[in-house]
Amino acid sequence: MMDKFNTLSGIAAPMPLINIDTDMIIPKQFLKTIKRSGLGVNLFDEMRYDDDGQEIPDFVLNKTAYRNAEIIVGGDNFGCGSSREHAPWALLDFGIRCVISTSFADIFYGNCFKNGILPIVLPKEQVDQLMEDAERGENARISVDLEAQTVTSSDGTEFRFEVDPFKKQCMLNGLDDISLTMEKSAAIDTFEADYQARMPWS
Amino acid sequence: MTAPKTLYDKIWDAHVAHQDDDGTCLLYIDRHLVHEVTSPQAFEGLRLAGRKVRAPGKTIAVPDHNVPTTLDRAKGIENEESRIQVEALDKNAREFGVVYYPVDDIRQGIVHIVGPEQGWTLPGMTVVCGDSHTATHGAFGALAHGIGTSEVEHVLATQTLIQKKSKNMRVEITGQLQPGVTAKDITMAVIGTTGTAGGTGHVIEYCGEAIAALSMEGRMTVCNMAIEGGARAGIIAPDDKTFAYVMGRPHAPKGAAWEMALAYWKTLFTDDGATFDQVITLKGEDIAPVVTWGTSPEDVLPITSTVPAPSDFSGGKVAAVERALDYMGLTPGMKLTDVAIDTVFIGSCTNGRIEDLRAAAKVLKGRKIKEGMRAMIVPGSGLVRAQAEEEGLDVIFTDAGFEWRLAGCSMCLAMNPDQLQPGERCAATSNRNFEGRQGRGGRTHLLSPAMAAAAAITGHLTDIRDFEGDA
């Protein structure tokens, strides 16, 4: 069951690199698990650790200020690449509950909502402003209010974001969408019977 | 008179099982393909909730990502986690009663090659899989896209997906391709034009004379990489080539059902006057054989080019290119044909079909790979492998010095033992050149099967046009 998401106030880590792909977020050697949990330690593994498994000090999430980050302010086209839901699982397991960018890859964007991570799309100037804010370290806490659809920077500047109403309700209430769909199983039954009659080969 | 529709509109409309006032739909799913990496948590979710697979006959499972491709794979999978994942698929497939091709079945292979090969993928269908390269199936005029594991569980339980409609994008390739230019070059050239986010939120319909001229294998290559351009799906209207490919496949309709299906399939095209939210047109004649030089599929250039400099770009791409050049160990101004290669991988859901193997064999026939080169050909399925052997291609490959492997995803994403070591540089016919994709520190150049074969012989990236001239 997904955790509810309403408001969040936390440290934001700046990751201005564009096209941060799912292979960066969680490399394939960690996809061999049959569980959803425990992936946080390998989040951004190849950027975060050297060949000997030691932390690379320059990597943002290894810096003291950002070790407890709950938000990532990311570059354009965040989450491009594969459909692996291990990417949001790893982010969540690390403690990230919100990613802010100018754009997200479709599948990653959808996968975030299924796991209680809020992906927020904002115009470039606003993301740039939040990126600057995030670069100020742990004193710069960014706040997110899903109900009100606002992001507030540490100096109190408020930005409004758009979110699909259905996805918003699911996030706010921690709803399991399979249960929601199964409430409509009569409609699916009716459709399926008619469809099979029209397209018996399908 | 109804409003003109795109092909995507037609398939979408035919599958809406329920629509909410806000436009959120339940889209009915015709085929659900399943592999071992993105499904165990979904089956476990069903089990915990006491749910069944709603349509096991429309659910097709095959292990591909983790399976060894060496000839001794019958002895089992050495890596414990990989073995557990493949065993979990075996257990889940049998317990939930879905269609299943186990690792020792000749029909086993990469899920996106097996689906079309077995006739599971048919025009007008909705096809999903927990794998972004599901876009491949769009070559048949099917609406096909990748989904996450939560959605895999949703489809297993309900045979539907919660969806909102994407936008329509048309990519037209006019005219004819020049010699040496392939479907791979088309799809990479498109991404080079649109960027990796250019298709975000859209379904791309590929059309035009150069697309119509492609074989079904070529069309699958084009649609396969729609996701690398950010599109949800790529789609090509079915035509006589499509119908000829599908006819007689094990799960294609037969007899009266075939006639009925065919009559419907012939209605699957974009109506005159239908509108697209975005249109891109490339001239087939302008497309050159291309390779990637960086760590994003949009880092595409004609093979005749030189490595670009960060200053050739603007915005966030400048830093990304600096990082990519450092990772790739390349210097601006260097000719791409001077880039030395130590590994060649021919295979994957992008280029692991029989036509791809034939293209490689044409280049390799009577030649030897460069000394010290590690080169492997991994067929997309057991049946592709068998077909290649029937045509004698395997002898050409092994005589040239290539390893001739069993079917699987292999070095495309290196979840099995086929991996690059840090600093190794690979000419690959796969679909992603991301950092670490083929192994930590490994460097990937994406290209067509013929270009990969040529690189294996010369030891560097090679313009296939120079090569075929003296072939």
- Put simply, the answer to whether A165 touches B158 (Cβ < 8 Å) is no
List the end-to-end C-alpha distance of chain A, in Å, as a whole number: 33
Residues B226 and B204: beta-carbon distance below 8 Å:
yes
- pLDDT average, residue stretch A67-91: 97
The C-alpha angle with vertex B199 and arms to A83 and B269, in degrees rounded to 5, equals 100
Nearest residue of A to residue B121, measured between CA atoms: A202
Min distance A133 CA to chain B CA atoms (Å)? 18
Report residue A103 as tokens.
């754009």
Q: Would you give the end-to-end CA distance of chain B in angstroms? A: 56
Residue A199 belongs to a domain: no
Contacts of B435 in chain A (CB under 8 A): 23-24, 46
Query: Burial level of B22, CB count in 10 A (0-12/13-18/19+)?
Result: exposed
B440, containing H or E segment? none
Q: Which residues contact B81 (CB under 8 A, 6 or more apart)?
A: A32, A33
Q: Name the nearest CA neighbour of A77 among A20, A161, A122.
A: A20
* pLDDT (tens digit per residue) in A143-196: 999 999 999 999 999 999 999 999 999 999 999 899 999 999 999 999 999 999
The tally of domains found in chain A comes to 1
- Mean pLDDT (whole number) for A120-140: 95
Work out the minimum CA distance from B390 to partner chain A, whole angstroms: 32
Count CB neighbours of B217 within 10 A.
22
User: B331 vs chain A: nearest CA distance in angstroms?
Assistant: 20
pLDDT digits (tens, 9 = 90+) for A7-33: 999 999 999 999 999 999 999 999 999
How many residues can be counted in chain B?
Answer: 471
Restricting to B residues 76-115, those with a Cβ less than 8 Å away from any Cβ of A are 79, 81-82, 84-85, 88
Nearest by Cα to B345 from B402, B422, B288: B402
Task: Suggest the residue from A51, A77, A83 to mutate for an interface test with chain B (most B CBs closer than 10 A).
Answer: A83
Please tell me the distance from the alpha carbon of residue B339 to that of residue B298, in angstroms, as a whole number: 19
Token pair listed for B72: 């001794």
A80-102 tens-digit pLDDT: 999 999 999 999 999 999 999 99
- A24: nearest CB among B18, B131, B434: B434
**Cβ-based contacts of A85 with chain B (< 8 Å):** 38, 41, 130, 148-150
Rounded Cα–Cα distance for residues B200 and B191 (Å): 12
Could you list the pLDDT tens digit for every one of the 471 residues in chain B? Answer: 689 999 999 999 999 999 999 899 999 999 999 999 999 999 999 999 999 999 999 999 999 999 999 999 999 999 999 999 999 999 999 999 999 999 999 999 999 999 999 999 999 999 999 999 999 999 999 999 999 999 999 999 999 999 999 999 999 999 999 999 999 999 999 999 999 999 999 999 999 999 999 999 999 999 999 999 999 999 999 999 999 999 999 999 999 999 999 999 999 999 999 999 999 999 999 999 999 999 999 999 999 999 999 999 999 999 999 999 999 999 999 999 999 999 999 999 999 999 999 999 999 999 999 999 999 999 999 999 999 999 999 999 999 999 999 999 999 999 999 999 999 999 999 999 999 999 999 999 999 999 999 999 999 999 999 986 444
Coarse DSSP helix, strand, coil percentages of chain B, rounded to the nearest 5 percent: 40, 15, 45
Helix or strand (DSSP H, E) at A36: none
Confidence at residue A139, expressed as pLDDT on a 0 to 100 scale = 79
Pairing mode, strands B143-146 and B160-163? unpaired
Q: Which tokens go with B301?
A: 């250039």
Two tokens, residue B218: 């070529």
**Cβ A34–B154 below 8 Å, yes or no?**
no
Query: Is B333 in a helix, a strand, or coil?
Result: coil
The Cα-based distances of A197 to A190, B60, B155 in angstroms read 11, 22, 21
DSSP state of B421: P
Look-up of token digits 């079909």: B353
CA separation for the pair B312, B298 (Å, rounded): 14
A86: in domain: yes
Query: What is the count of residue pairs from A and B with beta carbons less than 8 Å apart?
Result: 188
Q: Sorting pLDDT into bands at 50, 70 and 90, what band is A2?
A: confident
B contacts of A202 (beta carbons < 8 Å): 30, 122, 125
Q: Complex ipTM above 0.90?
A: yes
Whether A184 is in a domain gets the answer no
What is d(CA A17, CA A19) in angstroms, rounded to the nearest whole number?
A: 7
pTM of the entire structure? 0.97
Q: What is the pLDDT of residue B467?
A: 82
CATH number at residue A103: 3.20.19.10
Contact B65, B416 (CB under 8 A): yes
Task: Strands of A44-191 (E only): list them.
Answer: 71-74, 98-101, 118-121, 141-145, 150-152, 158-160
Task: Outline where B365-404 has alpha helix (H).
Answer: 382-390, 393-400
Is A66 inside any structural domain?
yes
Mutate to test the interface with B, among A19, A102, A198 (most CBs of B within 10 A): A19
What is the pairing mode between strands B59-61 and B99-100? Answer: parallel
Predicted local distance difference test score (pLDDT) of residue A1: 59
Q: Quote the domain boundaries for residue A144.
A: 7-174
From the list A64, A66, A113, the residue with the least C-alpha distance to A92 is A113
In this complex, the residue of B148, B414, B441 whose CB is nearest that of residue A114 is: B148
How many Cα atoms within 13 Å fall on the side-chain side of residue B130? 31
Closest CA in chain A for residue B38: A84
DSSP, collapsed to helix, strand or coil, labels residue A108 as helix
pLDDT score of B471? 43
pLDDT for the residue numbered B470: 47
Say which residue the tokens 């938000």 belong to: A71
Tokens 């979840």 locate to: B415
Q: Residue A138: what pLDDT?
A: 83
pLDDT of residue B450: 98
**Are A88 and A2 a contacting pair, CB within 8 Å?**
no
* B147 vs A contacts (CB less than 8 Å): 83, 107, 110
Structure tokens that stand for A108 in this block: 């990653």
Neighbours of B171 (CB within 10 A): 29
Quick one: which of B55, B34, B31, B217 has its CA closest to B110? B34
User: Which candidate from A85, A165, A182 shows the least CB-CB separation from B148?
Assistant: A85
Torsion of CA B262, B263, B268, B270, to 10 degrees: 140
Report the residue from A19, A76, A83 with minimal CB separation from B132.
Answer: A83
Report pLDDT for B1. 63
CB count within 10 Å of CB B199 equals 30
Name every residue whose Cβ is closer than 8 Å to that of residue A193 and which is 6 or more positions away in sequence: none
Q: Which whole-number Å values give the CA distances from B24 to A164, B61, B462, in the listed order?
A: 9, 28, 49
Is the Cβ pair B200, A105 closer than 8 Å? Answer: yes
CA dist list (Å): B86 to A25, A89, A146, B82, B222 = 24, 21, 40, 6, 29
CA distance B418 to chain A (A): 12
Nearest-10 Cα torsion for B305, B310, B311, B315: 120
Say if residues B329 and B342 touch (Cβ distance below 8 Å). Answer: no
Residue A110 lies in a domain: yes
In a domain, A77, yes or no: yes
Mode of pairing for the β-strands spanning B31-34 and B167-174: unpaired
Look at residue A112 and tell me if it is in a domain: yes
Q: Is the dihedral of CA A89, A94, A95, A100 positive or negative?
A: negative
Torsion on CA atoms B452, B453, B457, B460, rounded to nearest 10: -10
B85-104 core/surface letters (b: 16 or more CB in 10 A; e: else): bbbbbbebbeebebbbbebe
CA–CA gap between residue B443 and residue A100 (Å, rounded): 30
Cβ atoms of B140 and B121 closer than 8 Å = yes
Please report whether residue A190 resides in a domain. Answer: no
- Other CB atoms within 10 A of residue B342 CB: 18
